[in-house]
Amino acid sequence: MSDDEFRIIRDSIYSHCGIFFDDDSKYLLEKRLARRLTALSLNNFREYYHFLKYDRNKDQEMMDIMDVLTTNETYFFRESFQLSAFTDEVIPELISVKSARGDRTLRIWSAGCSTGEEPYTIAMLLRDMPSLRGWKIEIIGTDISQRVLQHARRGVYTKSSFRATDERYIKRFFYEYDGGLKVTDDIREMVTISHLNLFDKIRMMMLGKMDLIFCRNVIIYFDLAAKKKVVEEFHRSLHDGGFLLLGHSESLMNVTTLFTLRHFKNDMIYQKPERSALGDGL
């Protein structure tokens, strides 16, 4: 892959989804995309770029690239301190606020859900909360990779996914299936798994308003401009007072001032301010 080929292919990927490869990542991109050249019987990366730009199957190929490029390391009950803040502090606050408005619905989005462990974890945590009995709970998991979404929809997991899972959850919400453990139907029915590119503004708008968004270990792959674009869409997608949960290594510092950083007992979590708190008189 020449330097020119690297730049034009890198820029095509960035325009599509915001994943950015700096100049030091040339070898990584070349290594991962080499298998696509083989699959398409192409001779070089210049031909591959023309395929991405002009071939009638270019959209499908860009989706196939996402399967090759994205890292999907995850497991159930990841970042337990944040999940404690979610169940013990954030959800009770949302319940109180929404109940006061006569609203008994809760919509949660797992953006970049990978193979599904995160949205199913959310469902398991909410399943047994007495304060949510009678509520309509909707959990939406989305990812750009079709390969991991197939795994998520199937809901069958092996040992590596359970490294942080308490045995009581395994006994209650999983059963042996096809050499692994499958999520029970009652949990799977709480979760909708869908394909979504976070750069697709129209599709994001179609999801509707959310009370809470998990987007953990996703924006680390974006440059500053892409982070701003995606986070601003998250802000638009949230109800006033809604929450954004990022990964422990991620921050909105120097990205946006749209969110307030709340200091809870268990963790720090971003919140979209109520409009009245912004001083607009609404």
Whether the pTM exceeds 0.85: the reply is yes
pLDDT digits (tens, 9 = 90+) for 176-226: 999 999 999 999 999 999 999 999 989 999 999 999 999 998 988 889 999
Note the pLDDT of residue 19. 87
Note the pLDDT of residue 281. 42
Note the pLDDT of residue 150. 93
Note the pLDDT of residue 282. 39
Strand order in the sheet with 180-183: 156-157, 180-183, 174-177
Of 70, 217, 62, 238, which Cα lies nearest the Cα of 148? 70
Tell me how far apart the 2 most distant CA atoms of the chain are, in Å.
64
Note the pLDDT of residue 274. 86
Listed as ranges, residues in the chain with pLDDT below 50 are 280-282
Return all residues near 188 (Cβ < 8 A) that are at least 6 apart: 120, 155
pLDDT digits (tens, 9 = 90+) for 214-233: 999 898 888 999 999 999 99
The structural domains of the chain, ordered by start, are: 3-69 (1.10.155.10), 80-278 (3.40.50.150)
